[in-house]
């Protein structure tokens, strides 16, 4: 068993079996939803920070462009001015990239667990104190076969992805950067399209995971937007004279 399997894949398989047996009463669909929510709650601080920084960096692009024009003949001064702006706004432009790299192994592990489902292969990863389920129910509420492609789940996941990108692209204040705005508009259609295409070839178990995580991301994005709006209002609020 590889290091990756030991620290990520195996714990997720065991968690899925335990949730299936003792929490969702042998409903694999509900078990996938519960496990996905638990994973996102554990990773919430990382996702929250990445989402917040991405939005702030995007809002700062017009100011960054002004600094780039101002110091276009001095690359060193340009870099120092841009980094000073980021420090002033208390944001690290590279944090979202680093957080994305951290979560990639987790996403690969989740993909493997939900793609394999309950099978002889997945049960080889069970701990000694976890017994394989006696009854295997590969459905959601007895209605959706999670081993097969389900277009309803795929379409819902794509729609939620669209809404998530639209929420992330909402400007907070100031004049939005036209290039960034155009790119986000394109992404609001490209990302859901890619997801719909991918889920049209994958088991519904993975579609259910992406649907659940997209709904969670929408809620998270709403929370981030509200926090940033409050921060902006507080900073722009005039100070009363004593």
Question: How do the domains of the chain map onto residue ranges?
Answer: 3-235
Question: Which one of 100-114, 179-193, 212-226 scores highest in mean pLDDT?
Answer: 212-226
**Segment 55-58 long-range contacts (CB within 8 Å, at least 24 positions apart):** 55/168, 55/172, 55/224, 55/225, 55/228, 56/89, 56/91, 56/228, 57/86, 57/91, 57/93, 57/96, 58/177, 58/180, 58/184
Give the whole-angstrom CA distance, residue 98 versus residue 103. Answer: 9
Is residue 116 within 8 A of residue 9, CB to CB? The reply is no
Give which of 178, 227, 231, 234 is closest to 51, Cα–Cα: 227
Span 198-210, average pLDDT: 87
Residue 34 has pLDDT above 90, yes or no: yes
In tens, the pLDDT along 137-148 reads 888 888 888 888
In tens, the pLDDT along 92-137 reads 767 667 666 776 787 788 878 877 778 878 888 888 898 888 888 8
Radius of gyration of the chain (CA): 22
Residue 160, C-beta contacts closer than 8 angstroms, at least 6 positions apart:
211, 214, 215, 217, 218
Give the whole-angstrom CA distance, residue 9 versus residue 16. Answer: 11
Question: Which ranges constitute the DSSP H helices of the chain?
Answer: 3-4, 10-22, 28-42, 44-59, 61-70, 75-88, 95-116, 120-123, 151-168, 178-199, 204-236
The residue ranking higher by pLDDT, 98 or 72, is 72
Strands 144-145 and 139-140: antiparallel
């Amino acid at each position: 068993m590889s290091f990756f399997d030991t620290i990520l894949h195996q714990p997720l398989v065991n968690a899925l079996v335990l949730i299936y047996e003792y929490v969702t009463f042998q409903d694999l669909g509900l078990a996938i939803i519960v496990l996905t929510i638990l994973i996102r709650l554990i990773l919430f601080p990382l996702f929250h920070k990445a989402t917040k920084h991405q939005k702030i960096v995007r809002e700062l692009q017009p100011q960054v462009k002004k600094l780039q024009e101002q110091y276009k003949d001095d690359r060193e001064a340009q870099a120092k001015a841009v980094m000073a702006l980021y420090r002033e706004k208390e944001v690290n432009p590279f944090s979202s990239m680093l957080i994305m790299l951290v979560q990639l192994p987790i996403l690969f592990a989740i993909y493997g667990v939900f793609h394999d489902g309950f099978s002889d292969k997945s049960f080889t990863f069970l701990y000694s104190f976890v017994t394989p389920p006696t009854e295997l129910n590969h459905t959601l509420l007895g209605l959706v076969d999670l081993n097969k492609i389900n277009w309803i789940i795929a379409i819902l996941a794509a729609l939620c992805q669209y809404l998530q990108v639209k929420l992330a692209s909402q400007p907070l204040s100031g004049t939005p950067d036209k290039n960034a705005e155009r790119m986000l508009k394109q992404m609001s259609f490209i990302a859901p399209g890619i997801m719909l295409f991918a889920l049209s070839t994958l088991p519904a178990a993975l579609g259910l995971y992406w649907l659940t995580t997209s709904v969670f991301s929408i809620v998270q994005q709403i929370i981030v937007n509200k926090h940033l709006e409050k921060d902006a209002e507080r900073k722009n609020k005039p100070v009363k004279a004593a």
